[in-house]
Structures are given as C-alpha cells and as structure tokens.
C-alpha cells in the first residue's frame, strides 16, 4: 500500500473512532441526566443455629440510592424461608417489628406504613423470626426478605415509578444438631415403660375464642379482633369483641392434694387500642366445670366442694388488671387441666380512626400475662408451683382490624358496600364526594376513587369476618408467647 493510501486509511479510522466515542459520550450524558429510583435493603440472620431453634434475622431499609432524593414509603415486609418442606412464607411483618428510626424516618400508628425521607433508614431493633429449623431443611438454610415500597415522587421527576415496587435481600444460616443435655441418661440404660407419656408441665396459657382456633398460628396464640359496629350483625367470634380463654394445665392430682382453691393473674394491655378486658371466672362458676376436671364427681368437683367464688378483689389499673378469685371450700378443689377464666376484649372507639378497610390493615397489640399464681383451698401454693407463681404464664397477640372492603362495618361485604363505593366513583381529592375511607387502592391512598377501588369491593362480595376473601391471617409475633 502506498504512503498516501495508508495516510488516508489512518485518517478515516481515526474519524470513525472519534465518532464512536462521541456516540458513547452522548449516551452517557443522556443516562446521567435521568434520575435513578430505588431503595437500599439488607438483611442478616443468626448463624449457626441448632435444629429446632427459631430462625432469627435483622433487616435494614435505607433511602440512599434514589438519585432524585424522593421520599419513599414501605408497606410490607414478608420473609420467606426456603425450607426442606417448601418455602415457608410469613405474614406481613412490618406492623409487628420493633424498629430503630433514623434520619427523619417515621411510621404510622400500628406501623402499617413507614416513611423514609432521603438519607433516612429503618433498622430492626430486635431480631424477628417465625420459623423453627428442621432436620429436613437444606444446610445452609437460605432465607429471602421481600420489601414492598413506593416512590412518592417528591422531586416531581417525570420518570418516577407509579406502582408498588419490590426489593429483595437474602441471608442464610448453618444448621447444627441440638446440643445433648449434660444430665441426660445414656440411651443404653433407658428402659421404656409401656403406656407412659411425658407429663404436661404446670402452666397457664391463653387461647382464642374456640370459634377462631383455625387462626391460631405462629409461635404462640394469635387472634383477629374485627371492628364491627352493627350490633345485630356482629354475632360471630371476634366480631366487635373477642373472648380469650385462660387455660391451666396439670394442677396436681397426687394423693392428699387439696386442689385449686384460689388464683390470680395480672393482665397488661395497651389502653389506647383496647378499651377494656372484662375478666370473668370460669372454673368455679356454676355450670362451667367439666367432668374432665379430676378428681371428678357430680359437676366435676368432689362431693361437698362449694367453691362459691369471690372475684370482687379485682384491681383495675390504666393499662393492667389484676384478677383474683377466692373460694370458701372446706374440701379439695378441682385439679388436672381446665379453663380457668376468660377475658372479653373490647376495642377502643378510636381504633376505627386509625384504620381503613384496605389491604393488610390492622393494629397488632400484645395481651400480656404475668404473676400467674395458684393456691390450694388452704392458701398454700399448688404442688410444683414453687412459691405459687407458675413457671409459664403465657400471652396472646391480637390483630385489631377491619374486614377488607367492609365499608359499613357489619362484618360482611355485600350490596350495601358496593352501592356505597359506586356512589363515589369518580370522586377525587378536593371534591365533595371524596373520602379517603373509600380510597382503598393503593394502601397509602392516591387521591381518587376509581376502577381499582370499586373492584376492591365488588371482588370481595360475600366476604365475612369468619371467612375473609382473601384470608386475613392475624399478625404473628416475632417472639415466643409462652413465657
């Protein structure tokens, strides 16, 4: 090739390269000019853990990657443990978590929605968990957190996402076999005894209204308490009020026991969301004893046991009730396992102001027992109760909520609810017919009542508090309730 042709070829190649570089640079300028949207999410789980141990984790959400500086909200945190028996999925954990808020982050009443201005973060103050590791699980045991978040577009950027967004993060834990007890008898010296079972320990536990037993899930009893303001319609369990049963196991039946003669327990609650507890005796009240209470005779009690209860010594406090019942029996009282007392939980009138009939609504609250004490008819602690205080005095976790799409609060979605929202179709923020009570979709309200809101109601036709469509599972606590 001649020097002239070589010179021309080099110049042409250089011009092409410069042109390509210009295209790349222009592309970079166009990309950098557009705001980027997103959220920072990280999680870490305890490792190693023993098989049978609660799988616990921490999670942090940070608004530090949205280049527009938008304020973000989060409305759901769902955890999935990828177990040997298949994925184990939690309920929405957000309302039940204990959070550390920094940089201006805030959460609504009941933690149904949390808001993160630019640079802020939300970190779990204590670890959460809902799944107990099993021998059949993979090792290490993987776990994924799913975050639902929204961009409020406070920067007014034109490319903001307008719908719910998802973010995920993962962790895992190494599994170990449980540590053998140092006092365990070697298996070679154990002689099985036919027909024997491990005795149930002396304890007092709570359970939900028998009609709600199907919703008792998670590491302890959990219940729904649905807001219901139509007395003629609110007849089902957990509609308008909730009955919680205090149950006792294994009051001693050994020879010479004097059985139960008196009991007391202290119930703590949040008076901002629970108006009253209304404790009532069961075991000593007429007609409530069962034949299964041993030693059993007529009515479930030994002959001559009068057992007339005096529960007038009950002491109410602002956020607690000490419930105490004594009897005037000269004979041995009931023993074995039985329902001891009941609580009738009534929600505070202001709860409805903090809720609305949209997705995943609810105010989770703990009804906590302590100082459970049982004595025999002579005032001595019942056997195996130490100084009279039971080693186990269990709690219950209650989700105060509204049936989704139940606009008139009668615990059923029907024509009345459909007519109520149809009348407001097309209303928007600022118009006379607009009311955020009917602005059901999305969960943080979008300022209008449109097709999505109508379908939220019409699509749930026939839903009731006893059989919600879709299921409204009570929020599971992130701690053990059997202490």
Cα–Cα distance measured from residue 469 to residue 293, given in angstroms and rounded to the nearest whole number: 40
- Predicted local distance difference test score (pLDDT) of residue 360: 86
- Predicted local distance difference test score (pLDDT) of residue 300: 47
Give the chain's radius of gyration (CA, Å): 30
Q: What are phi and psi for residue 18, nearest 5 degrees?
A: -65, -40
- Cβ atoms of 63 and 72 within 8 Å: the answer is yes
- Predicted local distance difference test score (pLDDT) of residue 402: 95
Give the residue among 218, 219, 170, 175 at the shortest CA–CA distance from 59: 170
- Predicted local distance difference test score (pLDDT) of residue 191: 32
The residues of the chain scoring below 70 in pLDDT are: 1-32, 178-200, 210-220, 253-257, 286-308, 329-331, 383-388, 478-483
Residue partners of 250: CB distance under 8 A and separation at least 6: 199, 200, 201, 202, 203, 336, 337, 384
Look up residue 70 and give its two tokens: 């938008």
59-112 pLDDT, tens digit per residue, is 999 999 998 899 999 989 999 999 998 898 888 888 878 889 999 999 987 788
**Angle at CA of residue 226, ends 222 and 228, nearest 5°:** 160
DSSP character string of 42-91: EEEE--SEETTSEEEEEEEEE--S-TT---EEEEEEEEEEEETTEEEE--
- Predicted local distance difference test score (pLDDT) of residue 207: 86
The pairing of beta strand 72-83 with beta strand 114-116: antiparallel
In SS3 terms, 159-208 reads as CCCCCCEEEEEEEEECEECCCCCCCCCCHHHCCCCCCCCCCCCCEEEEEE
- Predicted local distance difference test score (pLDDT) of residue 239: 92
198-241 pLDDT, tens digit per residue, is 456 788 888 887 665 545 444 458 889 999 998 777 888 889 99
Give the residue among 271, 209, 279 at the shortest CA–CA distance from 239: 209
- Predicted local distance difference test score (pLDDT) of residue 265: 95
The pairing of beta strand 99-102 with beta strand 54-62: unpaired
Cα–Cα distance measured from residue 70 to residue 58, given in angstroms and rounded to the nearest whole number: 25
- Cβ atoms of 257 and 335 within 8 Å: the answer is yes
């Amino acid at each position: 090739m001649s020097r002239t042709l070589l010179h021309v070829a080099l110049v042409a190649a250089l011009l092409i390269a410069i042109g390509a570089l210009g295209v790349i640079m222009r592309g970079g300028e166009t990309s950098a000019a557009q705001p980027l949207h997103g959220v920072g999410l990280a999680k870490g789980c305890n490792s190693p853990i023993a098989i049978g141990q609660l799988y616990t984790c921490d999670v942090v959400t940070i608004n530090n990657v949205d280049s527009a500086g938008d304020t973000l909200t989060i409305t759901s945190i769902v955890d999935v443990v990828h177990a040997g028996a298949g994925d184990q999925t939690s309920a929405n954990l957000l309302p039940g978590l204990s959070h550390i808020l920094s940089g201006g982050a805030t959460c609504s009443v009941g933690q149904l929605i949390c808001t993160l201005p630019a640079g802020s973060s939300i970190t779990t103050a204590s670890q959460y968990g809902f799944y107990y590791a099993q021998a059949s699980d993979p090792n290490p045991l993987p776990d994924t957190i799913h975050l639902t978040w929204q961009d409020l577009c406070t920067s007014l950027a034109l490319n903001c996402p307008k719908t719910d967004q998802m973010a995920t993060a993962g962790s895992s834990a190494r599994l170990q076999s449980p540590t053998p007890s140092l006092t365990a008898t070697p298996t070679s010296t154990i002689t099985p005894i036919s027909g024997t079972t491990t005795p149930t320990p002396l304890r007092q536990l709570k359970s939900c209204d028998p009609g709600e037993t199907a919703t008792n899930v998670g590491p302890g009893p959990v219940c729904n308490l649905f807001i219901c303001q139509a007395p003629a319609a609110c007849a089902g369990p957990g509609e308008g009020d909730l009955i919680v049963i205090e149950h006792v196991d294994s009051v001693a039946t050994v020879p010479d026991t004097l059985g139960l003669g008196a009991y007391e327990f202290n119930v703590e609650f949040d008076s901002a969301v629970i108006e009253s507890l209304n404790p009532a005796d069961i075991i000593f009240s007429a007609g409530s004893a069962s034949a299964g209470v041993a030693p059993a005779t007529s009515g479930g009690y030994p002959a001559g046991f009068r057992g007339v209860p005096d529960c007038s010594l009950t002491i109410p406090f602002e956020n607690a009730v000490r419930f105490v019942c004594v009897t005037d029996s000269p004979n041995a009282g009931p023993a074995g396992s039985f329902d001891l007392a009941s609580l009738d939980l009534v929600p505070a009138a202001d709860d409805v102001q903090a809720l609305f009939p949209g997705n995943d609504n609810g105010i989770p609250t703990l009804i906590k027992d302590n100082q459970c004490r049982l004595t025999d008819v002579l005032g001595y602690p019942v056997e195996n109760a130490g100084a009279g205080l039971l080693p186990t005095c269990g709690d219950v976790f209650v989700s105060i909520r509204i049936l989704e799409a139940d606009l008139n609060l009668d615990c059923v979605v029907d024509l009345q609810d459909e007519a109520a929202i149809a009348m407001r179709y097309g209303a928007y923020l600022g118009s006379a017919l607009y009311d955020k009570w009917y602005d059901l979709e999305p969960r943080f309200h979008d300022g209008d009542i449109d097709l999505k809101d109508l379908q939220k109601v019409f699509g749930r036709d026939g839903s009731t508090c006893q059989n919600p469509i879709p299921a409204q599972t009570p929020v599971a606590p992130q701690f053990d309730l059997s202490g």
